Amino acid sequence: MTGPDLSRRAFLRRGVGGAAGLTIAFHLPGCVASEEAAPTEGEAPFLPNAWLRIGGDGTTTVVLAKSEMGQGVMTALPQILVDELDGDWSSLRIEEAAAGPEYGHPWLGPQVTAASSSVRSSMQPLREAGAKARAMLIAAAAQQWAIHPSACHAENGFVIETEGTRRAGYGALAEAASRLPEPDVVLLKELGDFRLVGRSVPRLDIPEKVTGRARYGIDVDVPDMLVAVVARCPTFGGSAKDFDDGPALRVPGVKTVVPISSGVAVVADGSWAALQGRKALRVTWDKGDLAGLDSETIAADLVAMARESAVTARDDGDVTGAMARAATTLHAEYRQPYLAHAAMEPPNCTALVTDDACTVWAPTQAQGKSRRVAAEITGLPETAVQVHTTFLGGGFGRGLEADMVREAVELSRDLRVPVKVLWSREDDLAHDFYRPPSYHRLSAGLDASGSPVAWTHHVACPSLLGRDRPLADDELDRTSVAGAADMPYDIPNVRCDWTRVEPGVPIGWWRSVGHLPNVFAVECFIDELASLTGADPYQFRRVHLRRSGRHRAALDVAAAESGWGKSLPRGRARGIAVGEAFGSFVAQVAEVSVELGRVRVHRVTCAIDCGMVVNPEIVTQQMEGGIVYGLTAALHGRIDIVDGAVKQQHFDDYRLLRMSEMPEVEVHILPSAEPPGGVGEVGVPTVAPAVVNAVAVLTGRRLRSLPLVL
């Protein structure tokens, strides 16, 4: 195979697959890369808990209950467990967990990967799992040697007699350990005793990906599988009135056309036939009540409703009185549009429904939700539903939805064969659950010395919590004011209000949720206050963060490492921003120029305090990725609604950051013994305000809407 017939994946398999080095076995249910990766009978006599198995050959299997979508959990979470286990990292094997209540999220309920919480929520359970297994293995060795367990210690997959010469591998002890009771309480390691946690251990998923062996949802292939694409109404809330399937059925390879809850599915023996069949399909749509909706109307409604009603999220001091007594006041309004997730892998799902079982293969972040939806559609108990999680080609919150699961399960239920539902990029952009738009009205009063004495922030946007359950009229959606109600500056009189506005466009969880729009407004406005008083923006923030040491520490590192205050080449300026999200504190400095009327970001210096760090390189990668995602939103991101439908169709009009636009990025991780914070989302919110604040230095203009237009 040569020339144009050689696929990228085939090239990677041929060109890289023979490279020598450490081999880590993976077993992803439904996506076994090779026969040797699959478990064998009798392999694991020691199963101390849901997270760990140790085989008689010494192989350590760590069960991964989080979705790997490029954020590195397939490495970071095993690091935690294997470190407490004192296991042999080179014998490690990773297995993706099947969906089940034993893997439920300790904070969020069902099994899910969300809220930058994989390490935060898993740290204690995985440490305890590893420590208890280690204690049982030590006890097994001590029993065999007729000595007290305190006379032994564990090290790199062996139990060793501390004052003697005897040693036994975990594999040799596994069966004996399996007969011992699990200890109720164990001592966890001191921070200084970690040998894996805190190290940049190479990511375990990378060899699978660069050799082409990794299996994503879109790669799933099940015997006798059919492929479906769905024609969906282009307008929100619309539905199919009627359809003519004759032209579609005449397309070679098309098997049938099936109406389902989301539209009309064309089912074929392959994706090409299904896509061609959908093109030929004739559907008459009932465009629904939102057919006349447009972005301008939505934007106007946000402003109008913010004047009429509000729920108070924070009310400190006497804001009205302080504002009336202020020597100077400043008012500003900020706006942000709908955004799509636009992950590289569009939504997809494969399902097989039989009389007594349902099996789902999906690149999902929400195993628990997917399982529940499949059970509802089939009428089966949840225990009869298996959800196999594949690698995800990006998530960003889109994988928290189950619409693609619903489509695949409905079709397999009706057709009684396995069905893979594929979405195109056009489908993905036109039928997403979008980041909500928002309107922000901020006011501040300053005393004669230039210090802010009063601050108000009114947020108007749809409710994410209200999407899934009813909210009372006076009930606050905390996700809508995250980063606003808890803004960190030391101002004695603060009020934050929220107005719920529901245009009817589907909304969903989008990377960093409410922090992105709210931190943008806060950090742009605090910069405007600094400018109004003639203060240095960095120093102004620092002075008014007296009670927030972690904010200040991150701010100081970002400023120092960026060369804040030092001269720059002509035509460049720096902007700064700081924020907190998901338990981590981030400051960023953007070095920017304006070239031919366009904003160009040359360098971003990022400082993060995310508490105790498991894998520094993964933290760096996540911050770099968050900066790319945040810059994409700042420079290009916009979903426009025209006549009730999305205007954008592909990456030519919903642009992502180009390679030529990528700035130099430096990430500085602050040392900390605090509990771990999140890193998957916290790099996103502060980059846009840092860029906007730099543009203001260059042009004298305050840009208050995204994406940036000069």
Helix (H, G, I), strand (E, B) or coil at 151: helix
CA distance 235 to 142: 69
Give residue 173's pLDDT. Answer: 97
Helices (DSSP H) in 390-511: which residue ranges? 403-415, 425-430, 465-468
Where does 150-279 show beta strands of DSSP type E? 152-155, 158-161, 167-169, 226-231, 239-244, 254-260, 263-268
Mean pLDDT of 416-437: 98
pLDDT tens per residue, range 285-343: 999 999 999 999 999 999 999 999 899 999 999 999 999 999 999 999 999 999 999 99
Q: Please, which residues have CB within 8 angstroms of residue 331's CB and are 6 or more apart in sequence? A: 441, 442, 443
In angstroms, rounded to a whole number, what is the distance separating the alpha carbons of residues 514 and 484? 9
User: What does the block give as tokens for 706?
Assistant: 């995204």
Tell me the pLDDT band of 36, cut-offs 50, 70 and 90.
very low
Residue 396: count other Cβ atoms within 10 Å of its Cβ: 26
Q: Can you give the pLDDT at residue 31? A: 41
Report the alpha-carbon distance of residue 119 to residue 615 in Å, rounded: 10
Reported as a single tens digit per residue, the pLDDT across 633-658 is 999 999 999 999 999 999 999 999 99
Query: Is the pLDDT reported for residue 25 higher than 60?
Result: no
Proportion of the chain above pLDDT 70, given as a percent: 94
What is the CA angle 337-340-342, rounded to 5?
A: 150
For residue 39, pLDDT beyond 90: no
| pLDDT for position 4 | 36
Task: Give dist(CA 66, CA 392) in Å, integer.
Answer: 11
The string of pLDDT tens digits covering residues 158-179 is 999 999 999 999 999 999 999 9
Amino acid identity at 87: G
Q: What pLDDT score does 45 carry?
A: 83
- For the cut 50, the answer to whether the pLDDT of residue 80 exceeds it is yes
The pLDDT, as a whole number, for residue 44 is 54
Residue type, 210: V
Q: What gap in Å lies between CA 476 and CA 113, rounded to an integer?
A: 24
Which of 20-29, 329-338, 380-389, 618-627 has the least mean pLDDT?
20-29
Peptide bond into 707 cis (omega under 30): yes
User: Does 390 or 16 have the greater pLDDT score?
Assistant: 390
Planar angle of CA 259, 261, 267, nearest 5 degrees:
40
pLDDT band at 33; cut points 50, 70, 90? very low
C-beta pairs of 328-331 under 8 Å, 24+ apart in sequence: 328/445, 328/446, 328/450, 328/532, 329/443, 329/444, 329/445, 329/446, 330/443, 330/444, 330/446, 330/525, 330/528, 330/529, 330/532, 331/441, 331/442, 331/443
Which spans in 200-313 are helix H? Answer: 205-210, 246-249, 271-280, 295-306
Residue 690 tokens read as 């840092």
Q: What is the pLDDT of residues 392-405, one digit of tens each?
A: 999 999 999 999 99
Q: How far is the CA of 686 from the CAs of 267, 289, 412, in angstroms? A: 45, 38, 44
Mean pLDDT score, 112-137 = 97
pLDDT at 29 over 80: no
- Crossing angle for the helix pair 616-635 and 687-699, to the nearest 10 degrees: 50
- At 429-481, the pLDDT tens digits run 999 999 999 999 999 999 999 999 999 999 999 999 999 899 999 999 999 99
Q: What is the pLDDT of residue 43?
A: 53
Q: Is the pLDDT of residue 346 over 60?
A: yes
Q: What is the pTM of this model?
A: 0.93
Sequential DSSP letters for 465-492 = HHHHS---TT---GGGGTTTTT-----S
In this model, does residue 34 exceed pLDDT 70?
no
**Cβ atoms of residues 350 and 362 within 8 Å:** yes
In the beta sheet, which residues pair with residue 331?
Answer: 443
Sign of CA dihedral 101, 105, 110, 112: negative
Measured from the Cβ of residue 664, the count of other Cβ atoms closer than 10 Å reads 10
Tell me how many helices (H) and strands (E) the chain has.
18, 28
Per the CB < 8 A criterion, the answer to whether 393 and 341 are in contact is no
- For residues 50-70, average pLDDT: 96
Residue 491: CB atoms within 10 Å: 22
| Structural Rg of the chain based on CA atoms | 27
